[in-house]
Amino acid sequence: MSQNIFSDDLLSYIDEWKDKPGNLIMVLHRVQSEIGYISREAADEVSRLLDVPLSTIWGVVTFYHFFKLTKPGKYNIQVCLGTACYLKGGDMIVEELEKLKGLKVDGLTDDGLFSLQAVRCVGCCGLAPVMTIGGEVFGKVTKDQIPGILDKFS
Protein backbone atom coordinates (compact mmCIF):
# COMPACT_ATOMS: atom_id res chain seq x y z
CA MET A 1 0.00 0.00 0.00
CA SER A 2 2.82 2.39 0.74
CA GLN A 3 4.95 1.61 -2.28
CA ASN A 4 4.94 5.17 -3.52
CA ILE A 5 6.34 7.09 -0.59
CA PHE A 6 9.98 6.50 -1.64
CA SER A 7 11.47 7.59 -4.95
CA ASP A 8 13.14 5.08 -7.26
CA ASP A 9 16.48 6.64 -6.37
CA LEU A 10 15.93 5.98 -2.71
CA LEU A 11 14.71 2.45 -3.36
CA SER A 12 17.80 1.60 -5.35
CA TYR A 13 20.00 3.14 -2.63
CA ILE A 14 18.27 0.93 -0.07
CA ASP A 15 18.70 -2.07 -2.33
CA GLU A 16 22.41 -1.35 -2.64
CA TRP A 17 22.81 -1.14 1.14
CA LYS A 18 20.40 -3.93 2.02
CA ASP A 19 23.03 -6.58 2.69
CA LYS A 20 25.76 -4.39 4.14
CA PRO A 21 26.24 -4.60 7.89
CA GLY A 22 25.45 -1.40 9.76
CA ASN A 23 23.19 -0.05 7.03
CA LEU A 24 20.32 1.27 9.13
CA ILE A 25 21.69 4.72 9.99
CA MET A 26 22.91 5.34 6.44
CA VAL A 27 19.48 4.44 5.05
CA LEU A 28 17.68 6.64 7.58
CA HIS A 29 19.91 9.58 6.59
CA ARG A 30 18.92 9.12 2.97
CA VAL A 31 15.22 8.82 3.86
CA GLN A 32 15.36 12.03 5.91
CA SER A 33 17.18 13.95 3.20
CA GLU A 34 14.44 12.95 0.76
CA ILE A 35 11.28 13.51 2.81
CA GLY A 36 12.58 15.87 5.46
CA TYR A 37 11.89 13.72 8.50
CA ILE A 38 11.27 10.12 9.56
CA SER A 39 7.52 9.66 9.40
CA ARG A 40 5.75 6.63 10.79
CA GLU A 41 5.02 5.46 7.24
CA ALA A 42 8.67 5.86 6.25
CA ALA A 43 9.81 3.89 9.30
CA ASP A 44 7.34 1.11 8.43
CA GLU A 45 8.68 1.02 4.92
CA VAL A 46 12.34 0.90 6.03
CA SER A 47 11.42 -1.88 8.44
CA ARG A 48 9.86 -3.89 5.59
CA LEU A 49 12.64 -3.25 3.08
CA LEU A 50 15.57 -3.94 5.42
CA ASP A 51 13.77 -6.58 7.45
CA VAL A 52 14.58 -4.78 10.70
CA PRO A 53 12.03 -4.62 13.53
CA LEU A 54 10.21 -1.28 13.79
CA SER A 55 11.18 -1.07 17.46
CA THR A 56 14.86 -1.11 16.49
CA ILE A 57 14.33 1.67 13.97
CA TRP A 58 12.42 3.75 16.51
CA GLY A 59 15.17 3.14 19.05
CA VAL A 60 17.77 4.51 16.66
CA VAL A 61 15.70 7.45 15.41
CA THR A 62 14.93 8.67 18.92
CA PHE A 63 18.52 8.23 20.13
CA TYR A 64 20.14 10.56 17.60
CA HIS A 65 19.36 14.28 17.57
CA PHE A 66 19.80 14.56 13.84
CA PHE A 67 16.71 12.49 13.03
CA LYS A 68 13.46 14.41 13.14
CA LEU A 69 10.05 12.97 13.90
CA THR A 70 7.99 15.94 12.77
CA LYS A 71 7.73 17.61 9.42
CA PRO A 72 10.05 20.62 9.16
CA GLY A 73 9.00 23.96 7.67
CA LYS A 74 9.82 24.96 4.12
CA TYR A 75 12.91 26.60 5.61
CA ASN A 76 14.48 25.03 8.66
CA ILE A 77 16.23 27.52 10.91
CA GLN A 78 19.06 26.24 13.07
CA VAL A 79 20.31 28.46 15.84
CA CYS A 80 23.68 27.45 17.20
CA LEU A 81 23.84 27.19 20.98
CA GLY A 82 27.35 25.76 21.13
CA THR A 83 29.68 27.30 23.70
CA ALA A 84 31.04 30.16 21.63
CA CYS A 85 27.60 31.15 20.34
CA TYR A 86 26.11 30.80 23.80
CA LEU A 87 28.66 33.22 25.25
CA LYS A 88 28.09 35.64 22.40
CA GLY A 89 24.32 35.66 22.79
CA GLY A 90 22.92 32.82 20.65
CA ASP A 91 19.85 32.65 22.90
CA MET A 92 19.08 36.23 21.86
CA ILE A 93 18.38 34.86 18.36
CA VAL A 94 15.99 32.26 19.76
CA GLU A 95 14.15 34.92 21.77
CA GLU A 96 13.96 37.24 18.80
CA LEU A 97 12.54 34.54 16.53
CA GLU A 98 9.84 33.85 19.05
CA LYS A 99 9.05 37.54 19.27
CA LEU A 100 8.99 38.05 15.50
CA LYS A 101 7.40 34.82 14.29
CA GLY A 102 5.99 33.16 17.38
CA LEU A 103 8.48 30.41 16.68
CA LYS A 104 9.54 28.13 19.50
CA VAL A 105 12.42 25.64 19.53
CA ASP A 106 11.30 22.49 17.66
CA GLY A 107 8.21 24.41 16.54
CA LEU A 108 6.76 25.40 13.19
CA THR A 109 5.19 28.68 12.07
CA ASP A 110 1.45 28.58 11.27
CA ASP A 111 2.11 29.09 7.57
CA GLY A 112 4.53 26.15 7.56
CA LEU A 113 7.31 28.40 6.25
CA PHE A 114 9.82 28.21 9.11
CA SER A 115 10.74 25.59 11.67
CA LEU A 116 13.29 26.13 14.41
CA GLN A 117 15.94 23.89 15.88
CA ALA A 118 18.54 24.67 18.51
CA VAL A 119 21.77 22.90 17.59
CA ARG A 120 25.14 22.39 19.24
CA CYS A 121 27.85 23.90 17.15
CA VAL A 122 27.72 24.13 13.39
CA GLY A 123 31.50 24.46 13.34
CA CYS A 124 32.03 28.12 12.53
CA CYS A 125 32.70 29.41 16.01
CA GLY A 126 34.75 32.30 14.64
CA LEU A 127 31.48 33.79 13.38
CA ALA A 128 29.51 33.47 16.62
CA PRO A 129 26.61 33.92 17.09
CA VAL A 130 25.49 31.84 14.13
CA MET A 131 22.18 30.79 12.60
CA THR A 132 21.53 28.80 9.44
CA ILE A 133 18.43 28.89 7.27
CA GLY A 134 17.95 26.16 4.69
CA GLY A 135 21.66 25.43 4.87
CA GLU A 136 22.79 29.04 4.38
CA VAL A 137 24.97 30.25 7.25
CA PHE A 138 24.55 33.70 8.82
CA GLY A 139 27.34 34.77 11.15
CA LYS A 140 27.85 37.54 13.73
CA VAL A 141 24.08 37.96 13.80
CA THR A 142 22.69 40.98 15.60
CA LYS A 143 19.14 41.51 16.75
CA ASP A 144 18.51 44.20 14.12
CA GLN A 145 19.57 41.94 11.25
CA ILE A 146 17.11 39.15 11.96
CA PRO A 147 13.97 40.63 10.30
CA GLY A 148 16.01 41.35 7.16
CA ILE A 149 17.43 37.83 7.09
CA LEU A 150 13.96 36.28 7.44
CA ASP A 151 12.58 38.48 4.66
CA LYS A 152 14.95 36.81 2.22
CA PHE A 153 13.01 33.57 2.63
CA SER A 154 9.39 33.33 1.58
Partner 1 sequence: MGFRNYILVCGGTGCESSKADLIYKTLIEEAAAQGVADQVQVIKTGCFGFCEQGPIVKILPEDSFYVKVRPEDARELISEHVIKGREVTRLLYNKTPKKPLEQVEDIQFYQKQLRVVLRNCGVIDPENIDDYIANDGYVALEKALFEMSGDDIINEMKLSGLRGRGGAGFPTWMKWNFTKQAEGDVKYVVCNADEGDPGAYMDRSTLEGDPHSVLEAMTICGKAIGAHQGFIYIRAEYPLAIHRLEVAMKQAREYGLLGKNILGSGFDYDIEIRLGAGAFVCGEETALLQSIEGHRGMPLPRPPFPASKGLWGKPTVINNVETWANVPVIIARGGAEFAKVGTQDSRGTKVFALTGKVKNSGLVEVPMGTTLREIVFDIGGGIAGGRKFKAVQTGGPSGGVITEENLDTPIDFGGLQRIGSMMGSGGMIVMDDSDCIVDVAKFYLEFTRDESCGKCFPCRIGGKSLYNLLDKITIGNGTEEDLEELKTIAHAMQKGSLCALGQTAPNPVLSTMRYFPEEYEAHIRDKKCPAGKCKKLIRYQIDPSKCIGCTACSRKCPVGAISGELKKPHSINQSACIKCGVCRQTCKFSAITIE
Distance CA 106, CA 127 (A): 24
Quick check: 135 binds partner 1 (CB under 8 A)?
yes
> Per CB under 8 A, which of residues 42..61 are in contact with partner 1?
59-60
Phi and psi for 4 in degrees, rounded to 5? -90, 0
Angle at 124 between CA 121 and CA 125, to 5 degrees: 75
What is the spatial distance between Cα 143 and Cα 96, in angstroms, rounded to a whole number? 7
- With binding defined as CB under 8 A, does residue 152 bind partner 1? no
Minimum CB separation of residue 139 from partner 1 in Å reads: 6
CB-nearer residue toward partner 1: 105 or 112:
105
State which amino acid sits at residue 73. G
- What x-and-dash track marks residues 85-124 binding partner 1 by CB under 8 A? -xxx------x-----------------------xxxxxx
The minimum distance between CB 45 and partner 1, in angstroms, equals 17
Q: How many CB atoms sit inside 10 A of residue 111's CB?
A: 10
- Find the DSSP H helices in 65-115: 83-87, 90-101
> For binding to partner 1 (CB under 8 A), which residues are involved?
21-26, 28-29, 59-60, 63-67, 81-84, 86-88, 95, 119-128, 130, 135-139
